[in-house]
Amino acid sequence: MNQPHIFLDSGDPEETKQAKQLLGFLDGQTTNPSLVAKNPDVREYLAKGKKMTETELLAMYKEIVQAIRKEIDGSISIETYADWTTTAEEMLKQAQEMNTWIENAHIKFPTIPEGLKAANMFVQQGGQVNMTLVFDQEQAAAVYSATLNSQKTHFVSPFVGRWDDRGYQGLDLIENIVKMYVGFNEQLSKTTSHVKVLSASIRNLHHFYASIILGADILTVPLKVLKQWVEEGKKIPEPSYQTRMTGLQSLDYKEIAFNNDYQSYAVGKVDGSLLDEGLVKFSQDWKKLIQ
- How far is CA 36 from each of CA 14, 143, 155, 286, rounded to the nearest angstrom? 13, 25, 20, 9
pLDDT digits (tens), the chain, 291 positions:
667 899 999 999 999 999 999 999 999 999 987 888 788 888 887 777 777 888 888 999 999 999 999 999 999 999 999 999 999 999 999 999 999 999 999 999 999 999 999 999 999 999 999 999 999 999 999 999 999 989 899 999 999 999 999 999 999 999 999 999 999 999 999 988 999 999 999 999 999 999 999 999 999 999 999 999 999 999 999 999 999 999 999 999 999 999 999 999 999 888 889 999 999 998 998 888 886
Our answer to whether residue 51 is catalytic in this structure is no
202 DSSP 8-state letter: -
123, 129 in Cβ contact below 8 A?
A: yes
118, 91 in Cβ contact below 8 A?
A: yes
Burial tier of 233 (Cβ tally within 10 Å: 0-12, 13-18, 19+): exposed
210: nearest Cα among 186, 182, 175: 175
Q: What span, in angstroms and rounded, lies between the C-alpha atoms of 28 and 276? A: 27
> Structural domain tally of the chain?
1
pLDDT score for 224:
98
265, 116 in Cβ contact below 8 A?
A: no
Q: What CATH number is given to the structural domain containing 98?
A: 3.20.20.70
Write the single-letter amino acid at 220: T
pTM: 0.95
pLDDT score for 2:
66
Give the domain range for residue 156.
Answer: 5-287
Burial tier of 187 (Cβ tally within 10 Å: 0-12, 13-18, 19+): exposed
CA 161-164-170 angle, 5° bins: 70
Catalytic residue, chosen from 48, 50, 108, 281, is 108
The counts of H helices and E strands in the chain are 12, 8
For 213: left if phi > 0, alpha if psi spans -120 to 50, otherwise beta; the answer is alpha
Q: What span, in angstroms and rounded, lies between the C-alpha atoms of 138 and 177? A: 9
